[in-house]
Chain A
Amino acid sequence: MSSTAGKIAVIDYGMGNLRSVWQALVHVANGKEIVVTADPAEVAAAERVVFPGQGAMPDCMRELDARGLRAAVLEAAKSKPFLGICIGLQMLFEHSEEGDVPGLGVFAGRVRRFPADKMHSPQGDKLKVPHMGWNEVRQIRPHALWQGIEDGARFYFVHSYFVDPVDRDTIAGTTDYGLPFTSAVARDNIFAIQCHPEKSAHAGLALLANFIQWQP
């Protein structure tokens, strides 16, 4: 076995702070080693991969390419347990309205901004963008990463854009904010979620613990 066997790689393409993700994973890792890395070889050698992201998607795509990580991400998304978080979910899609940029195209579909004409609650109150705070995630279908998490549990969100998958069978979770939107997708070895499990208290830690155990 190589020295990297069993490692969980958090991909670091220089956008924002990965400490929270790393710390939450360490908290549930049960002794598994978590590495934050910008090295494609280390990503390739890892047992499983976490693909986080924050900030603006055009910047994230640019930095990913600037660090030569695109191929490593695409390969990991084909071959090993893969968890996308926030912009890490959005980047898996074909295109984003944010900056009108192409994404990685792992999932067919586009990333859209919350439409201004829908940003009011059923009671008529104005809904703010970014969608910031704790909202419910409906589990649209069973998945290993939902294990032990109540259907409708609240997770912490911060985002202004959401994914709109072409293949509706990939939708694993939905959330309401002015309109119902896709808050989690899953296919084969990939699970990706819009909220921040690393900041979502018990529900989020449970999801990360499930990911570490997951055998897709």
Chain B
Amino acid sequence: MGLAKRIIPCLDVTAGRVVKGTNFVDLRDAGDPVEIARRYDAQGADEVTFLDITASSDQRDIILHIVEACASQVFIPLTVGGGVRTVADVRRLLNAGADKVSMNTAAVTNPDLVAEASAKVGNQCIVVAIDAKQVAPGQWEVFTHGGRNRTGLAVVDWARRVQQLGAGEILLTSMDRDGTKNGFDLALTRAVSDAVDIPVIASGGVGNLQHLADGVSIGGADAVLAASIFHFGEYTVRQAKEYMHERGIEVRL
């Protein structure tokens, strides 16, 4: 027995509210990120990720209050990403109670941010999120700004680079699969997982429990992240873990 593969529900949050509605039957407030995080904790989630997609910068501080409230009630690791541009942003989120901070576009435009933040707060707190699109068979390019902008960076090279810079973990999202419910891009996941020594979280495309298991057993991911299959109550985190456990994948039950 050894380290468990992690299952991480992700919540998109804007101006303090969860974006995609949830249909948990008995939630007091279906848009409250803290209440949903508590629900996932009770189901056995290994971590929770908040992605702050707030467009307007004057509402950015709202996420800090959400993180504070969550950290006082949910005693599992909490990762927060979205709009992180400076070391000060990283510090503010950690001080509010986040355990890890994820950076995406800012890491591409300013790789020194990864190095600087990692040196200041430790690489265990720094996640680099990579949005990948396939550009040729077996080749993927890094995109930023929610998949709108090309960077010219090859995903595997960039993954190695962010590890060198001091990332403690990579959150790898297939833009081709995101929202499709067709499963992870397993070749992408495998290519990145094999290329780095830090943990890789697979993301984008989960539509059923088999997809989660494949991400680990075929893709080689250390953790799997999903949003909609949990939000809409199709499956609980517990069901996902039992499914993976039955297929010989080590999980925390």
A residues near B (Cβ < 8 Å) are: 16-17, 19-20, 23-24, 27, 54-56, 119, 121, 125-136, 152, 154, 156-159, 176-177, 198-201, 204-205
Q: Specify which chain A residues have a CB less than 8 angstroms from the CB of B200 in the assembled complex.
A: 128
Interface segment out of the listed B106-114, B117-125, B149-157: B117-125
Q: How far is the CA of A126 from the CA of B124 in the complex (A)?
A: 19
Q: How far is the CA of A117 from the CA of B160 in the complex (A)?
A: 20
Map CB proximity to A onto B168-200 as digits: 1 under 8 Å, 0 otherwise. Answer: 110000000000000000000000001011111
List B190-225 residues whose CB lies under 8 Å from chain A.
194, 196-200, 220, 222-223
Question: Do A135 and B220 have beta carbons less than 8 Å apart?
Answer: no
Interface of B, helix, strand, loop or mixed by DSSP = loop
Question: Do A16 and B121 have beta carbons less than 8 Å apart?
Answer: yes
Interchain residue pairs A-B with the least CB separation, the first 7: A55-B122, A134-B252, A158-B124, A134-B4, A154-B252, A17-B94, A135-B3
Map CB proximity to A onto B73-117 as digits: 1 under 8 Å, 0 otherwise. Answer: 001110000000000000000111101000000000000000000
Our pick among B72, B95, B97, B222 for the contact of A132 (Cβ within 8 Å) is B222
| Nearest chain A residue, comparing its CB with the CB of B1 | A136
Q: How far is the CA of A205 from the CA of B124 in the complex (A)?
A: 22
Interface assignment of B141: CB less than 8 Å from any CB of chain A: no
Q: Specify which chain A residues have a CB less than 8 angstroms from the CB of B123 in the assembled complex.
A: 130
Q: Specify which chain A residues have a CB less than 8 angstroms from the CB of B46 in the assembled complex.
A: 133-134, 156
Question: Do B4 and A154 have beta carbons less than 8 Å apart?
Answer: yes
Q: Specify which chain A residues have a CB less than 8 angstroms from the CB of B19 in the assembled complex.
A: none
Q: A17-B97, A55-B121, A201-B76 are in contact. List 16 more A-B contacts (CB 8 A).
A: A16-B125, A17-B95, A23-B72, A27-B72, A125-B220, A127-B3, A128-B196, A128-B198, A130-B124, A134-B46, A135-B2, A154-B4, A176-B2, A200-B75, A201-B41, A205-B75
Q: Specify which chain B residues have a CB less than 8 angstroms from the CB of A199 in the assembled complex.
A: 75-77, 99
B residues near A (Cβ < 8 Å) are: 1-6, 41, 46, 71-72, 75-77, 94-97, 99, 121-125, 168-169, 194, 196-200, 220, 222-223, 252
Report B58 CB to chain A, min CB distance, Å.
25
Q: Specify which chain B residues have a CB less than 8 angstroms from the CB of A156 in the assembled complex.
A: 46, 76-77
Q: Specify which chain B residues have a CB less than 8 angstroms from the CB of A19 in the assembled complex.
A: 71, 95-97
Task: Report 19 cross-chain contacts, Cβ distance below 8 Å, ordered by A residue.
Answer: A17-B94, A20-B71, A23-B97, A27-B75, A55-B121, A126-B194, A127-B2, A127-B3, A128-B197, A130-B123, A132-B169, A133-B5, A133-B46, A133-B199, A136-B2, A157-B3, A158-B124, A199-B99, A201-B75
Q: How far is the CA of A154 from the CA of B250 in the complex (A)?
A: 11
Q: How far is the CA of A42 from the CA of B167 in the complex (A)?
A: 36
Q: Specify which chain A residues have a CB less than 8 angstroms from the CB of B194 in the assembled complex.
A: 126
| Nearest chain A residue, comparing its CB with the CB of B46 | A134
Q: How far is the CA of A7 from the CA of B46 in the complex (A)?
A: 31
Q: How far is the CA of A23 from the CA of B46 in the complex (A)?
A: 19
Report B64 CB to chain A, min CB distance, Å.
12
Q: How far is the CA of A20 from the CA of B3 in the complex (A)?
A: 23
Question: Do B168 and A132 have beta carbons less than 8 Å apart?
Answer: yes
Q: Specify which chain A residues have a CB less than 8 angstroms from the CB of B169 in the assembled complex.
A: 132
Question: Do A133 and B3 have beta carbons less than 8 Å apart?
Answer: yes
Q: Specify which chain A residues have a CB less than 8 angstroms from the CB of B71 in the assembled complex.
A: 19-20, 23
Q: How far is the CA of A198 from the CA of B97 in the complex (A)?
A: 12
Q: Specify which chain A residues have a CB less than 8 angstroms from the CB of B222 in the assembled complex.
A: 128, 132-133
Q: Which of A17, A154, A200 has the most CB of B within 10 A?
A: A17
Report A121 CB to chain B, min CB distance, Å.
6
